[in-house]
Homo-oligomer: A and B are copies of this chain.
Amino acid sequence: MQLVQDRIERRVLTPGSRLPSVRAMAETTGYSKSTVVEAYDRLAADGAIRSRPGAGFYVSAPLSPLSLDRIGTPVEREVDPLWMLRQSLSHRPGALKPGCGWLPDDWLNSAHIRKALRAAARSKADAPLMGYASLLGSPPLRALLARRLEEQGTAAAPDQILLTESSTHALDLVSRFLLEPGDTVLVDDPCYFNFLALLRAHRAKVIGIPMTPNGPDMAAFAAALTEHRPRFYITNSACHNPTGATLSAATAHQLLKLADAHDLVIVEDDVFADFEYTPSPRLAAFDGLDRVIRIGSFSKSVTAAIRCGHIAARPDWIEALADLRVATSMSGNPLSAEILHAVLTDSGYRRQIEGIRTRLARAMARTTARLRDAGITPWIEPAAGLFIWARLPDGLDAAQLARDALAENIVLAPGNVFSTNGMWSNYLRFNVAMSDDDRVSGFLTRACRQPAPARNY
């Protein structure tokens, strides 16, 4: 292979030219014919050469020069939820991402995943490697998720669980199920920015309910129900994204009473469930999956690379959601389900999560101190989770700060992307697992200490 590749690179073999026959190559090089066949086959599979049946192998043409014209410069984007998503997912060598919403890879344990991959490679049955998933997805994983939900106080049969690609995909299916274009949805203000991008894709009207440290403001919630007749409300009850707030039992009770009175569906995104020390109230548990739809995934606590989320809801709703799922993406990923099941049932997983909780608590304390030192004030001190929501010194604009940070290869999460109105434009969300860093502190300290008249923001 190397020999042929070298000749192609040195233009000894030019695009379109014929390779020596297998026999000739074997004689020239001294390799066996089967070794040459194998090398040619792999080069062909790689696209470097092509076989023409009955006529031997030829060097492939390079990618069309046309392709160069097609790559335009990316447009200057607004600092909005999609900007945030793109910045978070962009590959930037050496970048720091205190604005992103997940743990650094080295906090999670690729050893569990590797072990699960080896087990899958050895599996007796071809099923998790070859076929389509069943309609609702892997029965063993759904049974496991049902048991975990029950441990958290929410009774759910395995047939009340539909596997999805992610919790975002779960919310997308729920939105397809519940929304017509123009319908209204309630969100927290601030809320996870992807809710806003997703609801925009569904052309929903979004109304933000101001957050308090105990959950959404109940007076505003009640008023919005009367005024806007929303189709559903979406929230994180524990480890709220971005504020770190925790829903109190009293607020949960009032919220469900209002939902009953107005026949409101509630979507509870519990993606950070495993990061809590002390379990806090869940709407799904209070309500018993009657009008609450619970979505979640293990992207934050196992890996984002295998994509496996879920929806728990009333059986008849799951039935309709499964129709939508099969119509719009055919089937789930049985290999992902297999790997996730193996990791979650591995004895190491619980210990790993306990380790992460402890590490997060320490990082939370240290990040809080660093922010205060830079003059940035946390909104609350969250009980658990990844996030601190914090206010910049007066006169600073978070979106401008995020643009400046990008120039230093630091991705920040400015408040305006989490909100439907302008009231959080001097806030930032910090991921404590990515913020306990001198380069981040250094940038923030410099940015916040500049004398006001010299600043652009």
Which positions in A face B, CB cutoff 8 Å?
38, 41-42, 44-47, 50-51, 60-61, 63-68, 70-74, 81-82, 85-86, 88-91, 102, 105-106, 108, 110, 113-115, 117-118, 120-122, 126-135, 144, 146-148, 150-151, 155-160, 165-166, 168-169, 172, 176-181, 183, 194, 197-198, 200-201, 231, 265, 299, 303-307, 314-317, 319-320, 323-324, 326-336, 339, 344-351
Q: For A328, what are the chain B residues with a Cβ–Cβ distance below 8 Å?
A: 168-169, 172, 198, 201
- Min CB distance A318 to B, Å, is 10
Which of B44, B63, B132, B178 is A327 in contact with, Cβ under 8 Å?
B63
- Min CB distance A35 to B, Å, is 11
- Cβ-defined contact, B307 with A159, below 8 A: no
Query: Given A47-B147, A166-B329, does the pair A159, B70 have CB atoms closer than 8 Å?
Result: yes
Q: For A64, what are the chain B residues with a Cβ–Cβ distance below 8 Å?
A: 150, 155, 157, 176-178, 320, 324
Which of B85, B89, B319, B334 is A74 in contact with, Cβ under 8 Å?
B319
- Say how many copies of this protein the assembly contains: 2
Q: For A144, what are the chain B residues with a Cβ–Cβ distance below 8 Å?
A: 46-47
Query: Given A129-B110, A134-B91, does the pair A66, B320 have CB atoms closer than 8 Å?
Result: yes
A307 to B307 alpha-carbon distance, docked (Å): 11
Which of B44, B65, B88, B334 is A177 in contact with, Cβ under 8 Å?
B65
- Cβ-defined contact, B131 with A304, below 8 A: yes
Q: For A102, what are the chain B residues with a Cβ–Cβ distance below 8 Å?
A: 132
Q: For A336, what are the chain B residues with a Cβ–Cβ distance below 8 Å?
A: 307, 333, 335-336
Q: Which residue of B lies closest to A67 (CB)?
A: B157
- Min CB distance A172 to B, Å, is 5
A330 to B328 alpha-carbon distance, docked (Å): 16
- Min CB distance A159 to B, Å, is 6
Q: For A346, what are the chain B residues with a Cβ–Cβ distance below 8 Å?
A: 42, 45
Q: List 9 A-B contacts (CB under 8 A).
A: A64-B324, A67-B156, A70-B157, A88-B132, A114-B129, A115-B121, A121-B121, A200-B327, A201-B327
- Cβ-defined contact, B45 with A305, below 8 A: no
- Cβ-defined contact, A65 with B121, below 8 A: no
- Cβ-defined contact, B60 with A147, below 8 A: yes
Query: Given A70-B159, A194-B327, A307-B333, does the pair A134, B178 have CB atoms closer than 8 Å?
Result: no
- Cβ-defined contact, B130 with A305, below 8 A: yes
Q: For A183, what are the chain B residues with a Cβ–Cβ distance below 8 Å?
A: 65
Q: Which residue of B lies closest to A139 (CB)?
A: B91
Among A41, A181, A334, A335, residue most surrounded by chain B Cβ atoms (within 10 Å):
A335
Which of B42, B65, B71, B177 is A66 in contact with, Cβ under 8 Å?
B177
- Cβ-defined contact, B89 with A113, below 8 A: no
Query: Given A89-B134, A194-B330, does the pair A65, B305 have CB atoms closer than 8 Å?
Result: no
Q: For A50, what are the chain B residues with a Cβ–Cβ distance below 8 Å?
A: 151
Among A90, A121, A166, A324, residue most surrounded by chain B Cβ atoms (within 10 Å):
A121
